[in-house]
Amino acid sequence: MKDFIDFVSPLVHNQPFWYTCLTVAAALVVFAGYKWFEAYWTRRGELAAEKNAPAPNPAKSASGDRSVAAGIITGPVTTGDNSPIVNQQHQTVHGGQFQPAGNMTIGTYVGTITVASSQPAASPSPLHQLPAPPVDFTGRSKELSELRTAIKTNNVAISGLKGMGGIGKTALALRLAEELAHSYPDAQIYLDLLGTATTPLPPAKAMEHVIRSFHPESKLPEDPAQLSALYCSVLSDKRVLLLMDNARDSKQVEPLIPPRGCFLFVTSRQHVELPGLHVTRLDTLPPKDAEDLLVAICPRIADGACALAKACGYLPLALRLAASALNKHETVSVDSHLSRISDAATRTKELAEPALATSYGLLPDDRKRLWRHLSVFPSTFDSTAAAAVWEVGLETAEDLLGDLVSSSLVEWNPQTRRAHLHDLARDFAASHLAENSKEERSARLRHAAHYAKVIRAADDSYDEGGDNVLKGLTLFDLERVNIDTGFKWACGGLDSNDAAGICNDYCAVWSVLDLRQHPRRERIPWLESALAASRRLSDRRSEGNHLGNLGIVYADLGDARKAIEYHKEALVIASVVSHN
């Protein structure tokens, strides 16, 4: 009781009676919820620790003897201001060994950090993430030899491939990574850094992906220094290959340099400068290799391979598009296709665009429309998502995707059963989609609506408990880029009820967002946008829920005054809704 009095007294000092009563009521809700969650998670942590306590796993950083937090933390670390996290048990240590509830030793840390109670151990997430290289990979023997020599002879631990879009950086990187995988048995992690996108992947998100590949149920620290320390600690004493594809610049990649014993492979269109980085610049294919690639994809090109390779500028992406188009459209002669590419080439200086324009032109009008719609996906997607954007059944979507894959306008990963567009193809399709604003809005609306359902499915799975906790988190992580993109679009359209309704739906979940989002940078802005959406819709129940959730987040951050303000508003709305 004394804790509650100390908590509320400063808030009601010299205030009117009505204000005091309302504040005390709101404070009781906050305080009671805090105590209940604290007791619940404390007991849950104790049971989990007794049942699943792993062996100690101390770790060192790559910079010498200075120890960092070990990478098996399964509960959240506090935010950067060291504020308390409500629904978890806290233990603050100052250097030396620290333990969560139970007897699990999880490492050492220099400095002050707040540690939450452990959660049940999760089954390991996939640590072998490399997509397969193209089965018809051709050429690049000189570059492969140079990279192998640098790695084996010179002990290079960081390598990079630099070259223009469509030059084949990713294909070569995957080929080399496949060769090196046996030397890095602990994990091979692949991540698209979205360097050519409007919003590249922040380094912190890349670190989170790596950490969660090992410990998917972790709630990670918001403070960048703590996150970086945890990243190094998770990789310490491991043999891990990191393939960071499509990097924007050095600033994005430098924080991702792993400890000694790991290997970092970077691809980028831009020049990236990193300590110890060995860079190989890729140019277009030699004529003979370009001709071989054409024939490997479509054997009937043989007699015209020399002229067609030259028309494609010896660019791998353009070569693949041209050969795939001829392989699919058997009635189109090689000479006819060559003429179309040559005509398109006179209208652009981009090597890939003539082949894209020609392949696009060969599609029936309905296929053109469907392909344009796929440009709303910023990252990989599955057949279900394509079906939602296209408004067709799943089996139909699978058939249509297969048709576009056979034209090399869509890339398909048979291991993950997910598709994506090359960034040059996405830009090309998006430029044509933007020509019809009504069509573009409709496609983006369906994309955002679909991923609002995905985030609900992930949250429902998490709330079921047991093995479904990891399933829910894995689904959220897999679709994170699409989820963020869908929410951002919906928030930008709050002047319409359909977009506002979708924005509102994204924040109708709690568990996965509470675990995965940073409270200040993501959780609060999301809830504020959803609050604005619910008010536009006059949805009082959702408005009250968003206000209450904002109160919980601010209570987590230790801002009692804001927490009570939001809870007071939520209580007023709850009273109104209950009487209607």
User: Which CATH fold topology does 141-281 show?
Assistant: Rossmann fold (3.40.50)
In CATH, what class is 436-578? mainly alpha
Q: Model pTM?
A: 0.71
On the question of pLDDT at 63 being above 60, the answer is no
Contact criterion met (CB below 8 Å) for 470 and 217: yes
Whole-number average pLDDT of the chain:
81
Residue 85's identity, in one-letter code, is I
- Per-domain boundaries in the chain: 1-120, 141-281, 284-358, 436-578
Task: List, for residues 256-277, the tens digit of each pLDDT value.
Answer: 999 999 999 999 988 888 888 8
On the question of pLDDT at 550 being above 50, the answer is yes
**115 phi and psi angles, rounded to 5 deg:** -115, 135
Please give the DSSP secondary-structure letter assigned to residue 269: S
Contact criterion met (CB below 8 Å) for 77 and 107: no
Rounded mean pLDDT, 106-133: 50
**pLDDT interval class at 182 (50, 70, 90):** very high
**Which of 281, 241, 280 shows the shortest CA–CA distance to 258?**
241
- Which of 67-71, 333-337, 391-395 is the most confident on average? 391-395
Rounded mean pLDDT, 453-458: 97
Q: Residue 208, class by beta-carbon neighbours within 10 Å (0-12 exposed, 13-18 middle, 19+ buried)?
A: buried
**Which of 516, 413, 513, 374 shows the shortest CA–CA distance to 170?**
413
Print the SS3 string covering 298-326.
Answer: CHHHHHHHHHHHHHCCCCHHHHHHHHHHH
SS3 95: coil
Rounded mean pLDDT, 524-537: 95
Q: Among 3-12, 180-189, 422-431, 513-522, which is the least confidently predicted range?
A: 3-12
Percent of the chain with pLDDT over 70: 77
On the question of pLDDT at 55 being above 70, the answer is no
Q: Where are the beta strands (DSSP E) in 164-262?
A: 187-192, 240-247
